[in-house]
Structure formats: C-alpha cells, structure tokens
Amino acid sequence: MLDVDHLVDIDTLSPEDLETVLDRAEAQKSGADDTQLPQTTMGMLFEKPSTRTRISFETGMTELGGHAIFLGPEDIQLGHGEPLKDTSRVLSRYVDVVMARLFDHADLLEIATYSDVPVVNGLTDEAHPCQTLADLLTIREAFDGFDDVQATWVGDGNNVGQSFVLGCALAGIDLTVCTPPEYGMSDAVLKRADELGHAPEVVEDPVEAVSDADVLYTDVWVSMGQEDRRAEKLAAFDGYQVNMDLLSETDAVVMHCLPAHRGEEITDDVLESDRVLVWDQAENRLHAQKGLLVELME
C-alpha cells in the first residue's frame, strides 16, 4: 500500500514506495503474487497515441481481473467540450482508476486534483513515470539490485529522461547525463534530484559520459509534437548517436524506451546486438504497471 493517491511523476513516490511497487511488480511477473483487482475498471485518456502504453495497461487490467476503457481524441475533447475538472469529477464516478496520456502536464495535474480515484500519468510532455518504473525494474533484474550501478543518459533531455533522472535519484543510482547544452534536463528536475540526495553528473562529451557506465540509455531526439523542429534537432545532436563506435568505449548494456528511430539516436546494429535490454524494458511496462495498480488500489 502506498502513501500517495496518484502517480503524477516518479518522485511522487518515496524511496520506500518505489521499492514496494518494484517488489510487487517482480512478484507479479514471477507468479509469486496472484493478487487480483476483480471488477475494476480503468478509464484511459489518450491525447497521444501509443502502442506500448495502451497494450500494457489493457493487458495488465485483464490479467488483474479488471477492464480498461480506451478514450481517444475522438472520444473525449479534454478541456474543450467541458472543463477538465468537470470531466475528472464525472469520470471518477464511473471508473476505479484513471490513466491519462496527455500533452500538457498541467492538464494531468488538474485531472488528479479533482479526481476521487487514483490517477496515473501515462505520459505528459514533462514526465513519463510508468516508463521509469519499467526501467528501474529492468535494471534491478539485470544487476540484482541498484548497488554500484552506474547509468548514463545520452541524447535529449526529454520527458523520459527527466523522469529517469528522478527515478535514479530515488533508487540511489549514480547517473551521468550527456546532452547538447541547449537540450539538457530542466533546472527544476535537476534541483529535485539534488533534493533527493542524488543529483546526476552533467557532461557534454558522450565518450567521457559512457566510460564507466553499466547502463547506457537513449531515446528519440524528435519527440511527438516536435516534427517542425526535426532539422534543427538532428543537427544539434550530431555526435550523440548510440552506435557501435560509442559502444566500443564501454561495457554498458543499452536501454531505449521505444519506439526507436533507427539510424538517428541509435543504430540498427546496436538494437539487434546482444548488448540491449530494450525488449526486457518493453515487457516490464506490463509488470511494473500491474505492481503500481495493485499497490495504488489495495
């Protein structure tokens, strides 16, 4: 059982809450825990499409004995047909938990403020805590815990990266962040990580960043909604690609939250190599989210 009502970002959880969720996820994955949520309904609000988020949440609810209702952009006009607070109040009279995948983080916060049931952030432009739960579960499995794990983020300081910074701080993982100067993590996120007692080291040279890494993590350079900045960002990220040349500088295993833009932030031969944890990461979205839902609603 958690000390929070909603999952807004990964540092909504305490270190103890994080451990509780990961323990539950691991038990669900191994079959050691058969806790169910029978006759439980999740309302899923999608402004942004996603393969992994929809399938993992729907499958997870089914496996837990519940049901998920998909509400896409054509089904619900968030903040347009009626105020967000009214949508949230009404939706929480129908369902037992809400998962929202939105553009504006402020919209997620408003939905959580007015909801009478747990609200889970399935992604906003600022945060992706469910991905971080899967990332940390994957690292814990691969290294039998977090002690002495050195992680490196190479690429864009996007929503996935920002939640990963905070997740590493919660878990006590040493993290190096390597981005072009104008595309780094937000100062607010770095401050929050520092307040958690584990601020990342920030460097600009990818070779320096990966030299001592156990885990090398990257994500797309051009996120959904940034298509008009594509040429600008591809030019700015020249030299930050995770390729075999960079891997030759480290013994690290590689993580990516998917979908990958092969040939941009990561090469095809890296993704197809035996150096990746990517497919375990993808699977662990299912188990991490089941662990979260059970603990939020128990």
Binding residues for carbamoyl phosphate, by number, are: 50-53, 77, 101, 128-131, 257-258, 285
Strands 201-203 and 174-178: parallel
Q: Which two tokens stand for residue 287?
A: 């188990």
Pick the closest to residue 44 from 116, 102, 114, 126 (CA basis).
Answer: 102
Measured in degrees and rounded to the nearest 5, phi and psi for residue 77 equal: -100, 90
Catalytic residue among 241, 285, 287, 289: 285
Catalytic, 150? Answer no
Catalytic residue among 6, 24, 54, 128: 128
Question: Whole-angstrom Cα distance, residue 119 to residue 142?
Answer: 30
CB 150 within 8 A of CB 213: yes
Catalytic residue among 6, 54, 101, 287: 101
Strands 215-218 and 150-154: parallel
Catalytic, 257? Answer yes
Catalytic residue among 107, 125, 131, 275: 131
- Residue numbers belonging to the annotated binding site for L-ornithine: 159, 219, 223-224
Catalytic, 261? Answer no
Catalytic, 178? Answer no
Catalytic, 230? Answer no
Question: Whole-angstrom Cα distance, residue 108 to residue 102?
Answer: 7
Catalytic, 229? Answer no
- Residue numbers belonging to the annotated binding site: 50-53, 77, 101, 128-131, 159, 219, 223-224, 257-258, 285
Catalytic residue among 219, 256, 275, 281: 219
Catalytic residue among 257, 275, 287, 289: 257
**Residue 256 host element (H or E):** strand 253-256
Q: Give catalytic residues, as residue numbers.
A: 101, 128, 131, 219, 257, 285
